[in-house]
Amino acid sequence: MDGLFYHSQDIVSGCLVLLVRYFKKVSDDMEKFIKFIEAYDLIGKARKIHVALSGGADSMALLDLFIQYQNTFGIEVEAIHVHHGLRKASDMEAAHVKAHCEGLGILCRTFHVDVLAAVACGKSVEEAARDLRYEVFDRIIKEEGGRVALAHHLDDQAETVLMNLFRGSSLKGLGGMQPIRGAYIRPLLEVTKEEIMEYCRLKAIAFDVDESNYETKYTRNKMRLQIIPMLTEQIQPKLSEHVCATASLIREDDRYLEDLAVEAYEKAVIYQSIEKIKWQRTDLCNLDSVVLRRVLRQGMARLEGGLRNISKQHTDEMMALVKSGKTGKAMDLPMNRRLRCDYDVVTLDRGNHEEIVKPEPIEIDLTSMTLYETYTYDDFTIRLFPYEKQTEFSKKSCTKWFDYDKIRGNLRIRTRENGDFIRFSPALHKKKIKDYFIDKKVNRSVRDQVPMLVLGHEVIWIVGYRINEAYTVTDATKTIIEVVYSKEERL
C-alpha cells in the first residue's frame, strides 16, 4: 500500500515537472516574441493587427502569440486568409482557419484570388500567388489601416538570403527580409522552425500541411529540402543562425549607406515629379560610386515602374554615362524610362521619347509690309515703324529691335542648320552657332528646339539668348523692325 502511495506521488511529481517546463517554455516564447516586437517597434501606433493566416504551423503560432499580446496590450487582432484555389485541400484549409478563429472569438476573412489567370499572363505560380496576396494585403492596409503580420521565421530568412546570394544580389538582398517594411511586420524572424513546431505541440495548436511545400520543382523548396540540410549536415550545424546573423549586420550597413544616399540625393536634386527627376550633374560626379549607384536607384524607384527589371548592368551603364563627361547623350531603360546627361544636368524621366520633329521654316516677306501694321507668324509678331532718337528701347527679353535698312532680303524663322553663324563685337567677327551653343553650354537636347530669326545662314536673333550686333539700332537708323516672341520662357 505504501509502495502504491509513493508510486502515485512520483507520477504527480513528474506531472508537475512537465507542467512547470510547459509553462516556462510558453513563457519564454512569449517573452522572446514581445522583446523582438519592442526592439523593432513593430506595433508602433497601430491599433489593429491583420495576421496573414495560411493555416500552416507558422501562421497559426503567430496568431496565437498575437492573441496573447492582444490581451496584454489591448490591440485588436484579426485574421486574413487568402484562398489561392490551386489545390483540392484549399477549401478544407479555409474552413479550418475560419473554425479555429471562431473558437478564439476573432474575425477571419477569406479572400479568393485567381492565380492561374495571373500565370496565363506570364508569371510563375510562386510569383503570381505572392503578388496576389500582397494586392489583398495592400488593399486592406489602404482601406482599414493597421499592420499586416507575416509569419516568416529564421529558417525562411536563411533561405531568402542564400537564394539572393546564388542569383547575385545587392546588400539589400543579402540583408534578407526586414522585420518591418512599411505596414508589414515579421515578428518571428528570430524564431526557428523547430521552435515554432514545439510551440504548436505544447499549445496543442492544430495546423494544416501544404503538400506542395515538399515538391522540389520549386526553387525555394529545393533550397529548403535539399541544399540547406546538406550544408547543415556537412559544413555548419548552425547554418541558418549564422546566415541570419550575417544578414542582420548587412542590413545595418545597408541602412547606413542608404541614409548617406538619401542625403546626397536631396543635395543634388533640382527638380522632381512623378514623371521626371533632374539632378545637378557636378554633385553626382563628386559622389563615391557606392553612393552614386544608390542615388540613381532611388531615382528609378520614385518613377512609375520602380526598380522592376532594373539590373546591375543598367545601373553600371547609368553611372558610366553620368561620369563620362559627355553631353547630349542618353540611354533607354526598362518601363519606358530614359537617363539623359547634359552639361550640368542629369535627367531621368519616363514617357514618349520619340525624336522631336523640327518645325517647318516660316518665310517672312518684308517687301509686302507697311509701317505700323502688325504681322503674326506663329509665336512671332512683327511690325515696322520710324525710329526717333528719343524713343525708349524695349526692355523685354523677348522683344527685339533691329535696323530694317541693314536687312537685305527676306527673313525666315527656323531652328539651326549647318553653316549658321552670328556676328559679335569687336569687329563683328563671325561665330558658328554650334560653337556659340557649346560655349554657352546649351544642352544638346535643347539646341534643335531654339527658334532663330535668320537671313540666309546669318542669324539675326537666337531667341532667348542674344542678337546679331551687325543689325543693332544706331543713330543712323531710319526704320525699326520690331520682333516679339510670345513665349516668355527661355528654351
How confident is the model over 86-109, as pLDDT tens digits? Answer: 888 889 999 999 999 999 999 999
- The answer to whether 486 is a known ligand-binding residue is no
Greater model confidence, 274 or 242: 242
| 13 pLDDT more than 70 | no
| In the chain, ranges of CATH 3.30.465 domains | 279-350
Q: How far is CA 315 from the centre of its chain?
A: 13
What confidence category does residue 17 fall into, taking pLDDT thresholds of 50, 70 and 90? Answer: very low
Q: What is the pLDDT, as a whole number, of residue 110?
A: 96
CB distance 336 to 304 below 8 Å: no
pLDDT tens across 362-371, in order? 999 988 899 9
Over residues 332-351, mean pLDDT? 89
- CA-based max dimension of the chain: 140
- CATH 3.40.50.620 domain position(s) in the chain: 2-250
| Residue 482, helix vs strand vs coil | strand
What CA–CA distances, in Å, run from 286 to 266, 297, 395?
14, 17, 40
Phi and psi for 132 in degrees, rounded to 5?
Answer: -70, -35
* φ/ψ of residue 203, rounded to 5: -90, 0
Specify whether the CB–CB gap between 108 and 102 falls below 8 A.
yes
Spatial strand order in the sheet of 380-386? 374-377, 380-386, 479-485, 399-403
Tell the residue number behind the cell numbers 525710329, with chain if given.
Answer: 387
403 is in an annotated binding site: no
Pairing of strands 399-403, 429-432: unpaired
431-483 pLDDT tens trace: 999 989 888 878 777 788 899 999 999 999 999 889 999 999 988 999 999 99
pLDDT of residue 261: 96
Report whether 368 belongs to an annotated binding site: no
Q: Identify the pLDDT of residue 23.
A: 47
CA 86 to CA 309: how far, in whole Å? Answer: 28
Task: Tell me how far apart the alpha carbons of residues 316 and 291 are, in angstroms, rounded to a whole number.
Answer: 13
Q: Cell 499549445 sits at which residue?
A: 203
Domain 279-350 has CATH 3.30.465: yes
Q: Measuring CA to CA, which residue among 275, 262, 264 is closest to residue 322? A: 264
Q: In terms of Cα–Cα distance, which of 78, 48, 80 is closest to 145?
A: 48
Give the span between the Cα atoms of 49 and 327, in whole angstroms.
Answer: 52
- Contact 279/346 with Cβ under 8 angstroms? yes
Query: What is the percent of the chain with per-residue pLDDT over 90, rounded to a whole number?
Result: 61
Please, which residues have CB within 8 angstroms of residue 168's CB and are 6 or more apart in sequence?
312
Residue type, 141: I
How far, CA to CA in Å, does 257 sit from each of 162, 206, 283, 294, 296?
22, 44, 17, 8, 13
CA 240 – CA 252 distance, rounded (Å): 19
Task: Identify the CATH homologous superfamily for domain 2-250.
Answer: HUPs (3.40.50.620)
CB 87 within 8 A of CB 211: yes
Average pLDDT over residues 130-142: 95
| 90 appears as a binding residue in the annotation | no
Give the whole-angstrom CA distance, residue 182 versus residue 54: 21
User: What is the average per-residue pLDDT within 140-149?
Assistant: 95
Dihedral angle sign, alpha carbons of residues 451, 455, 459, 461? negative
Of 132-146, 383-397, 407-421, 474-488, the least confident: 383-397
Q: Are strands 458-462 and 411-414 parallel, antiparallel or unpaired?
A: unpaired
Q: CA 164, CA 349: separation in Å to the nearest integer?
A: 29
Q: What is the DSSP string of 166-227?
A: HH---HHHHT-S-SEETTEE-TTTTS-HHHHHHHHHHHT------GGGG-TTSHHHHIIIII
Select from 91, 93, 46 the least CA-distant residue to 66. 46
pLDDT reported for residue 356: 57
Residue 13 known to bind ligand? no
Other CB atoms within 10 A of residue 295 CB = 25
